[in-house]
Amino acid sequence: MAKTSLLFGIHMHQPVDNFRWVIDHAVEVCYKPFFEVASQYPQFRFSLHCSGWLMEQIAQFHPEVYALIKTLVEGGSIELFGAGYYEPILSTIPSRDRIAQIERLNKSIRSGFSQTPKGVWLTERVWESSLIRDLYRCGIEYTVMDDYHFQCAGFDEAVLDGYYMSEEGGEKLGLFPISKKLRYALPFLNVNKAIEAITSYCRENDSAAIIFDDAEKFGMWPGTYEWVYEKGWLVRFIEAVLADPSIEPMHYGEYFRTRRPRGIAYLPNTSYYEMGEWSLRADDALKLEEFKQEMGHQRYEEEGVKFLKGGIWKNFFVKYPESNRLHKRMLELSAQRETVGEGEFDINLYKLQTNDPLWHGVFGGLYLPNLRDNAYRYLIRCEDIRYRGKQVVVSDQNELDGYDKVKIVMPKVIFRFDAAYGGQMVEFDSRQECFNWQNTLTRRKEAYHCQILEGGKTQEARAVEDGIDTIHNMAVEIDDSIRETVIYDWYLKNSFIDHISDGSFDLQRFKRCDFREYGDFANQPFEAGYTQEKVTFSRDGGLYFPEKAFARLEKHYIPSVEGIGFEITFSTDDERTLNYVLEHNFHFADYKALRINGADAEEEGMSVQTDRLEIIDGYLNKRLLLRFSQPCDIYYFSLKTLSQSEKGFDLSTQGISFAAVFAFSKTISIRGELEVFDV
């Protein structure tokens, strides 16, 4: 009888320094029950990848689960896969960091489990052929990726029942295609249909049914704990696999050693299909979906998948400047490794390289403020080690746009300004607290917003007979309160943003981002210059009524003991009375612990004719003081984004937007300070 080799693997990961209660919950409803069931069937062979940081947490806080894994490894049930220790997208970090992260996890696996990984898990299955050389140097012989990767290169689904070989400069790597059919079947279909999906790969004596997917599908995804454990799906599935004479559970390594490759494959830069769709800008993602619908589901699955593709993972750096900023700051710091030295700097750099805060899809990722806070904490720790109390002003062009980014490093704070975006402040770090008060996120259009604005449900719920649906197909009810939160900004939510408006500017127009803008300074580049005493940005621009009137704006930032001083001068040929609006956007860890100009922070508010904005950050016990040389009206509101998650939609506070409004005619000059004090 011909047999199908079942290559079954699970991938376990949680964002580095994620909330402890999230880890505990994942262990309780997913990891622990999975390994408890698996321990009852030692003859069920499967593969496991667990990110290094998560395994640390399990070993420290859930030793009984760690012991279960160790027992299964020692008994021969589990083959362990390597990866980057802190779960980076390998293709986005420098070669030396890839090797260091992979070897760090390999060393941990050898020490804890007495195995040396020969297979590697690619985070989010992001593939670039340039990885082969570094994987080869780390002793890696094979990896896994979606069958979609192969289909993008022209392979038919029917031949993706084994591994292929690839090479880069003569260095070799085996490539296993993960079956989409099985990803959508396990654990969502009933056991009989799941077994049918596996045995459909029984085409030749050495055929393999290949599945390597998120462990969180087995208990953490909505509805899966009840289905997989309380209703016994996993027990019945493993028993059915072991009872079926046509299925042989096998490790990837054994299959790789004992079976010949199907052939050779050279694959394009890609990830799984959904990731390519998410990396597109909203309008392009909607067009892609239209093309799929025009083609029809069956034709797309059979033929169109080869030709109709989304973007590549690195498009997230194009789509989200906030993500690109973090990534390029990481590259800047990585280049300092040799001058700073190894040790604590390396650990924080590697944690900074974790993938989670850099992208957004069904899961929150970039939209989750705590993940970005964690990333900036590692970044600031690296900076603190790098400068060790120094006071400097430095410039770079690391973000590849040709414009200077100027950084003012003070003993207590670090400021960073971007000439490409109006000479605005894009980083405002407390070195003591390792917190970035400028870690805001712009409200922007996402493809799923169109479904919200159209009303009803996000999609029609699919009827699933004796099974459960995946999070990719779940319907979510939409009401008017959610719809009203969908607002888009036409400029990035940095600080020291310059607007020229008129007397119609008010709190609600500011909140809706539909106020009249006459100037071209809020989202346009400035010229930059700096010395150790002063940073200067300037622009010769205009006011548009719609006829253009010449206008010039200069900004100077001056390092001071507690922060920075600033001088802003605006002049124009037009003689109308206008409003100069200076906008700041500040991010906080706990918005309930804030006081603004002496009162508890509300969802929105204003101060009339004041020369200061004082914010008490009760969480960090800091006082942020923004002083002006003349009185102004200050409006503020909570900056919130609506994002998609595995549970539906999340309304997240990304910061507080402040607008200081000054009336003027022809010219205005404002001086002030932005300073930080202990409470």
- The predicted-structure confidence for 114-145, as pLDDT tens digits, reads as follows 999 999 999 999 999 999 999 999 999 999 99
Answer yes or no: do 257 and 332 share one domain. no
Q: Please list the helix, strand and coil fractions of the chain in percent, rounded to the nearest 5, in that order.
A: 35, 30, 35
Q: Which of the residue ranges 318-332, 475-489, 613-627 would you say has the lowest mean pLDDT?
A: 475-489
Provide the domain count of the chain.
3
pLDDT at residue number 353: 98
CB atoms within 10 A of CB 298: 9
pLDDT at residue number 202: 83
Answer yes or no: do 356 and 236 share one domain. no
Last residue of a domain, one of 388, 420, 439: 388
In a domain, residue 26? The reply is: yes
Helices (H) and strands (E) in the chain, counts: 23, 26
Q: Count CA atoms closer than 13 A to 227's CA, side-chain side.
A: 21
Burial of 390 (0-12, 13-18, 19+ CB in 10 A): exposed
Last residue of a domain, one of 366, 388, 410: 388
* Element of type H or E holding 316: helix 315-319
Q: Residue 11 is part of a domain; what is its CATH number? A: 3.20.110.20
Answer yes or no: do 580 and 637 share one domain. yes
Q: Cα–chain-centroid distance for residue 538? A: 33
Answer yes or no: do 9 and 143 share one domain. yes
Answer yes or no: do 548 and 658 share one domain. yes
Q: Count CA atoms closer than 13 A to 264's CA, side-chain side.
A: 6
Tell me the pairing of strands 46-50 and 78-80. parallel
pLDDT value at 205 more than 90: no
| Residues 6+ positions from 70 with CB-CB distance below 8 Å | 112, 113
pLDDT at residue number 522: 98
Entry field: residues in the chain = 679
In a domain, residue 103? The reply is: yes
Q: Residue 657 is part of a domain; what is its CATH number? A: 2.70.98.10
Answer yes or no: do 520 and 598 share one domain. yes
In a domain, residue 586? The reply is: yes
pLDDT at residue number 298: 87
pLDDT at residue number 305: 87
* Tokens (6 digits) for 309: 């593709």
pLDDT at residue number 363: 78
Contact predicate 146/114, CB 8 Å: no
Q: Bridge partners of 143?
A: 120, 175
498, 519, 556, 675 from 539: Cα distances, Å: 11, 11, 12, 26
Phi/psi at 303 (nearest 5 deg)? -130, -45
How far apart CA 478 and CA 649 sit, in angstroms, is 9
pLDDT at residue number 465: 58
pLDDT, one tens digit per residue, over 6-19 is 999 999 999 999 99
Last residue of a domain, one of 388, 422, 454: 388
In order, the DSSP letters of 363-379 are S-GGG-HHHHHHHHHHH
Nearest to 405 by CA among 415, 419, 422: 419
pLDDT value at 527 more than 80: yes
CB atoms within 10 A of CB 306: 16
In a domain, residue 288? The reply is: no
Answer yes or no: do 45 and 130 share one domain. yes
Answer yes or no: do 378 and 498 share one domain. no
Cis peptide before 357 (omega within 30 of 0): no
Phi/psi at 143 (nearest 5 deg)? -145, 175
Answer yes or no: do 261 and 336 share one domain. no
Contact predicate 501/515, CB 8 Å: yes
Edge to edge, the sheet with strand 435-436 lists 392-396, 405-409, 413-418, 424-430, 435-436
pLDDT, one tens digit per residue, over 206-265 is 899 999 999 999 999 989 999 999 999 999 999 999 999 999 999 999 999 999 999 999
Contact predicate 17/351, CB 8 Å: yes
In a domain, residue 308? The reply is: no
Task: Quickly tell me which residue has 């689960």 as its tokens.
Answer: 65
Write out the catalytic residue numbers. 124, 214
Answer yes or no: do 103 and 182 share one domain. yes
Give this prediction's pTM: 0.94
In a domain, residue 393? The reply is: no
Tell me the pairing of strands 208-214 and 247-249. unpaired
pLDDT value at 312 more than 70: yes
pLDDT, one tens digit per residue, over 460-513 is 544 455 677 665 555 556 667 788 889 999 999 999 999 999 999 999 999 999
Q: Determine the Cα angle at 35 with ends 31 and 36, to 5°.
A: 115
Answer yes or no: do 24 and 99 share one domain. yes
Answer yes or no: do 77 and 199 share one domain. yes
In a domain, residue 174? The reply is: yes
In a domain, residue 520? The reply is: yes
Query: Which 3 state secondary structure label does DSSP give 530?
Result: strand
Domain that holds residue 332: 314-388
